[in-house]
Amino acid sequence: MALSGVRVLELAGLAPAPLCGMILADFGAQVVRVDRTPRSAVATDVQGRGKRSLALDLKRPPGAAVLRRLCCQADVLIEPFRHGVLSKLGRKDENPYAPVNLLADFAGGGVLCAMGIVTALYERTKSGKGQIIDASMVEGVAYLSSFLWKSQNLGLWNRPRGENLLDSGAPFYETYKTSDGKFMAVGAIEPQFYEQLIKGLGLDSDKLPSQLSFSDWPKMKEKFASIFAQKTQAEWCSIFDGTDACVTPVLAFDEVASHQHNKQRSSFIKNDQEEISPRPAPLLSRTPAVPSFKRDPFIGEHTEEILLEYGFTKQEIAKLYSDKVIEFSEPKANL
């Protein structure tokens, strides 16, 4: 397969990293999942297809030394300790949402097509041969949904729509309106994060139902909603900033680029026309992407330049133009 011989180390984590490791394994890479100790812990990676597992205590110096030694012989290290986001599938008693075309067009189509191209380019360095990449958006988004398909037996999706853990059923995985008409996003699934959420809301966990008491979820959602409605978004940000409560503001488009996190990461760029767009990702340490800051080209703006670059003579270009095979477009000044 295309990635045959590629060695991958995947530090065990949540949804996005396991999917990435599974994709690489599916294309032939030798993927080793570095699991946490103790070995008796139940494996939660439902996307472990084609992987092997190594249990290692990375909190101890000898364990970290082992990982460093493994890295010396590996081609890829997947470090997963950043949270991922799953698309909501629809709320209770509402029609299912038509998902934004980010899901199929861009993720299932564009991103996986790019991955296929890079995979094929890498394989070409070994075989010297090209190949056709068949990138179907339907199959791509199905592949992206591997976590949903493969986690059905874990009990994550066995309740009616809008009543499950990740589809707005849980009070700790939801969005809540603030007193100024804005919203806060809550994703405190893990018990330690949930405890920080409860603390920030001014509640006592000893006086509340169990976090996973499904029958109490509707009542808890009402309680959380009433509390969030008592303060502004900025006030809630000041309460939860710097905590592990997994509570963040829901930002409008014109607020995203100026958010402190994105400013520190330089996550957004401006072109010559002051148009804001996201910086290319992921960020490579040695050969990062260098996006153009120029405006988008006019149709035909570089026709002659390109044809000359590819070896056409001026006479040939003139003939193509007179035959209306090509067009030129001179950029006009904005007066």
Residue in this structure with the two tokens 């035959």, named with its chain if needed: 323
Query: Angle at CA 103, nearest 5°, toward 17 and 85?
Result: 40
Residue in this structure with the two tokens 């300790």, named with its chain if needed: 81
Catalytic residue, chosen from 93, 105, 134, 244, is: 105
Residues 6+ apart with CB under 8 A from 287: none
Alpha carbon distances (Å) from 102 to 40, 108, 211, 244, 253:
39, 8, 32, 28, 15
Residue 254 designated active-site = no
Instruction: Put residue 128 in one of left, alpha, beta given phi > 0 → left and psi -120 to 50 → alpha.
Output: left
The string over 27-63, giving b where at least 16 C-beta atoms fall within 10 Å of a residue's C-beta and e elsewhere, is: bbbbbbbbbeeeeeeeeebbbbebbebeebeeeeeeb
Nearest to 6 by CA among 23, 26, 21, 28: 28
Q: What kind and span of H or E run contains 268?
A: strand 268-270
**Encoding tokens for residue 79?**
């470090």
CA dihedral 258, 261, 266, 271 (to 10 degrees): -30
Residues 6+ apart with CB under 8 A from 53: 32, 33, 35, 43
Nearest to 34 by CA among 15, 48, 16: 48
Q: Is 142 exposed, middle or buried (0-12, 13-18, 19+ CB in 10 A)?
A: middle
Other residues' Cβ atoms within 10 Å of the Cβ of residue 18:
27
Evaluate the CA torsion angle 260, 263, 267, 268 in order and state its sign: positive
Tell me which residues are annotated as active site: 105
